[in-house]
Amino acid sequence: MSDNTINIKMNGVAVQCGLEDTILTASKKAGIRIPTLCHDDRLEPYGGCRLCIVEVNGGMRPLPACTTPVAEGMEIRTETEDVRKIRKSVIALLLSNHPNDCMRCESTGDCTLQDLSYEYEVDGSQYEGEKCELPVRDDNPFITFEPTKCILCGRCVRICNEVVMAGTIDFNGRGFDTIPDTAFGKPRSLDNCEFCGQCVSTCPTGALTDKKARGKGRAHEMKKVRTTCSYCGTGCNFDLNVKDGEVVKVTSAYDAPVNHGNLCVKGRYGYDFIHSDERITTPLIKKGNKYIEATWDEALEYCARRFSDIIKKHGKETVGGFSSSRCSNEENFLLSKFVRTVFKTNNVDNCARV
């Protein structure tokens, strides 16, 4: 055994893990699934939902896998009968104060609570009592909040504070009236929210959804297309969710090398231009006071001829290239190379310089 590794047993299988691993991270390395609701790999361990409980060393008290560190010689059981009974009770308690309107819910087919209810055969009828009835919060242009579907996992609050560091929302109220909300319940605006959509990306239920995508399709109906954001030169990746040839919404790509799923308001919600009627779909050449449609060959030939005429008449210092930070580094390099080698001038600039 290395000084940096620990040997444990999980469901009878020997597993080697790191000194700083929790039971949950060790289980992922071993390919053993432990269900969670409040956990997100982007966030610090929370231990709030209690779905990830496991039996350790045959002990009577189950422990949460997400917050319990591994120890040498630890023996862990993740799917005992007692553990499954406790998980079923936790899910039943959550459903006892849940609308359970899955047929009409925006997140049907993409809801962790729904998946776990199906897996553990819980229908929400075990416990009866008062249910929280709160109005839908629809007071901003990008995010719809349905408080009755919130399970208080805290993921939206934590990602806003730990990752985005905006501090827009926190738990407001006490007991039965607790909900994640802005200070004093004020509507989200650019004064108190960045509209990055990270809270939506981490929500395991239908409590937080993208307003612009509501009613436009289920998750299984959409094809995800990986692309790079065109709003700046950072190079953030995300997935376009496409249905019937239309971009319905943008979702985070957690394996993106640059942004790791983080997005700004433009990247997540600024996709309307894709299907705009005002988009130019073919090259245009100005003749008189009108723009005439042309082929790419005609447009490129026209540009080459006009640049040549200007350089011959006024000299190479009268032309140049102005690049954009919306382009990639490679595209900006090609423009610089073109201007310096073809125009033979150093008149190259970029919009980000100022």
Over residues 72-99, the mean pLDDT reads 94
Find, among 227, 212, 224, 229, the residue nearest to 267 by Cα: 229
Answer yes or no: is pLDDT of 1 > 60. no
Q: Which domains does the chain show, CATH number per domain? A: 5-79 (3.10.20.740), 100-275 (3.30.70.20), 284-353 (no CATH)
3-state secondary structure the chain: CCCCEEEEEECCEEEEEECCCEHHHHHHHHCCCCCCCCCCCCCCCCCCCCCCEEEECCCCCCEECCCCECCCCCEEECCCHHHHHHHHHHHHHHHHCCCCCCCCCCCCCCCHHHHHHHHCCCCCCCCCCCCCCCCCECCCCCEEECHHHCCCCCHHHHHHHHCCCCCCCEEECCHHHCEEECHHHCCCCCCCCCCCCHHHHHCCCCCEEEHHHCCCCCHHHCEEEEEECCCCCCCCEEEEEEECCEEEEEEECCCCCCCCCCCCHHHHHCCHHHHCCCCCCCCEEEECCEEEECCHHHHHHHHHHHHHHHHHHHCHHHCCEEECCCCCHHHHHHHHHHHHHHHCCCCEEEHHHC
The count of residues in the chain is 354
Q: State the Cα–Cα distance between residues 124 and 93, nearest whole angstrom.
A: 8
pTM greater than 0.75: yes
Answer yes or no: is pLDDT of 354 > 70. no
Over residues 117-140, the mean pLDDT reads 90
Q: What local confidence, expressed as pLDDT, does residue 100 receive?
A: 87
Q: State the Cα–Cα distance between residues 186 and 188, nearest whole angstrom.
A: 6
Local confidence band at 4 (pLDDT 50, 70, 90 cut-offs): confident
Q: What local confidence, expressed as pLDDT, does residue 16 receive?
A: 92
What pLDDT digit, counting tens, does each position of 174-210 carry? Answer: 888 899 999 999 999 999 999 999 999 999 999 999 9
Answer yes or no: is pLDDT of 6 > 70. yes
Q: Are strands 321-323 and 348-350 parallel, antiparallel or unpaired?
A: parallel
Local confidence band at 59 (pLDDT 50, 70, 90 cut-offs): confident
285-300 burial code (b ≥16 CB/10 A, e <16): eeeeeeeeebeeeeee
Local confidence band at 152 (pLDDT 50, 70, 90 cut-offs): very high
Over residues 129-136, the mean pLDDT reads 86
Provide the β-strand partners of residue 79: none
Q: In this prediction, what percent of the chain has a pLDDT beyond 70?
A: 99
Please give the C-alpha separations between residue 278 and each of 101, 263, 274, in angstroms, as whole numbers.
Answer: 40, 26, 10
Is residue 230 within 8 Å of residue 273, measured between CB atoms?
A: no
